[in-house]
Structure 1
Amino acid sequence: MEEVQSVQALATKLGALPPEYVRSEHERPGVTTFREGDAPEIPVIDMAAPGFVARMAEAAAEWGLFQVVNHGVPGAAVAELQRVGREFFALPQEEKERYAMDLASGKFEGYGSSLKPDHGGKKPWADFFFHNVAPPTMVDHDIWPKNPTDYREANEEYCRHMQRLTRELFGYLSAALGLEEGAMFEAFGGDDMLFLQKINYYPPCPEPELTLGVSPHTDMSTLTVLVPNEVQGLQVFKDSHWYDAKYVPDALVIHIGDQIEILSNGRYKAVLHRTTVSKEKTRMSWPVFVEPPMEHVVGPHPQLVTDESPAKYKAMKYKDYRHCKINKPPTM
Structure 2
Amino acid sequence: MASESYPPPFRSLNNSTQIVDSDEKADPVHDLEDPIPLVDLQSLKLGKQLGEACEQWGIFRLVNHGVPPTLLSQLQDHAETFFSLPFESKQSLITSPLSYFWGTPALTPSGAALHRKGTLENINLVEGFNVPIAQLNQFQADNHIVASFSLVLEEYGKHLARLATTIFEAMLKNLGLDPIESKSNLSNSTGSVRVYRYPRCSNSNSAWGLDVHTDSSVVSILIQDDVGGLEVLKDNDWFTVKPIPNTLIINLGDMMQAISDDKYKSVTHRVKVNKNKERISICYFVFPGEGSVIRSSKYKPFTYSDFQEQVQQDIKTVGYKVGLEKFKFSEAV
TM-score range, shorter chain: 0.7 to 0.9
Alignment equivalent of 1:203, drawn from 181, 199, 202: 199
**1:128–1:200 Cα contact (<8 Å) kept:** yes
How far 1:40 sits from its partner (Å)?
8.0
Identity of aligned pairs, percent? 27
Q: Which residue of 1 aligns with 2:306?
A: 320
Match of 1:110 among 96, 99, 102: 99
**Helix, strand or coil at the partner of 1:327:** helix
Tell me whether 1:92 sits opposite 2:91 in the alignment: no
The yes-or-no answer on 1:124 pairing with 2:93 is no
- For residue 154 of structure 1, what is the aligned residue in structure 2? 152
State whether structure 2 residue 63 is matched by structure 1 residue 69: yes
Describe the superposition over 1:191-224 as per-residue Cα deviations: whole angstroms up to 9, x where unpaired: 5x40111011001112000111001111111110
Q: Tell me how far apart the structure 2 counterparts of residues 174 and 125 of structure 1 sit (CA, whole Å).
A: 36
2:264 is aligned with 1:275: no
Q: Matches of 1:172 and 1:42 in 2, distance apart?
A: 19
Contact kept, 8 Å, 1:45 with 1:52, in 2: the verdict is no
Offset of residue 56 of structure 1: 1.2
Q: Deviations over 1:215-265 (max 9, x none)?
A: 111111111001111101111111112111112221100000111111111
Equivalences, count = 302
Aligned counterpart in structure 2 of residue 251 of structure 1, from 247, 250, 274:
247
Match of 1:16 in 2: 16
Q: Distance in 1 between matches of 2:86 and 2:31?
A: 42
Is contact 1:113–1:128 with CA below 8 Å preserved after alignment? yes
- Whole-angstrom distance in 1 between the partners of 2:300 and 2:44: 36
Q: Is the 8 A contact 1:6 1:127 kept in 2?
A: no
**Which residue number in structure 1 is paired with residue 118 of structure 2?**
none
For 2:236 and 2:322, the matched residues in 1 are separated by 13
- Whether contact under 8 Å (2:210, 2:272) holds in the other structure is yes
Contact kept, 8 Å, 1:194 with 1:293, in 2: the verdict is: yes
- Structure 1: tracts of 5 or more residues without a match: 102-106, 301-310
Deviations for 1:302-327, whole angstroms, at most 9, x for unmatched residues?
xxxxxxxxx11111121110121233
Please list every run of 5 or more consecutive structure 2 residues that lacks an aligned counterpart in the other structure.
Answer: 104-109, 115-120, 315-319, 324-333
Q: After superposition, what is the alpha-carbon deviation per residue over 1:5-50, rounded to whole angstroms, capped at 9, x for unaligned?
A: 98555444341132xx4233x222xx2132476x981212222358
- Alignment partner of 1:32 is 2:18: no
Determine if contact 1:230/1:247 at 8 Å carries over to the other structure: yes
Contact 1:221/1:258 (<8 A) preserved: yes
* Distance change >3 Å, CA 108–CA 272, structure 1 → 2: farther
Over 3 Å counting, the alpha-carbon distance change for 1:235 and 1:292 in structure 2 is same
Secondary structure, aligned partner of 1:158: helix
Q: Deviations over 1:54-105 (max 9, x none)?
A: 111111111111110111111122122222111110112221120467xxxx
Within a 5 Å distance, the mapping from 1:212-291 to structure 2 comes to 212-291=208-287
CA distance in structure 2 between the partners assigned to 1:17 and 1:6 by the alignment:
21
TM-score when scaled to structure 2? 0.81
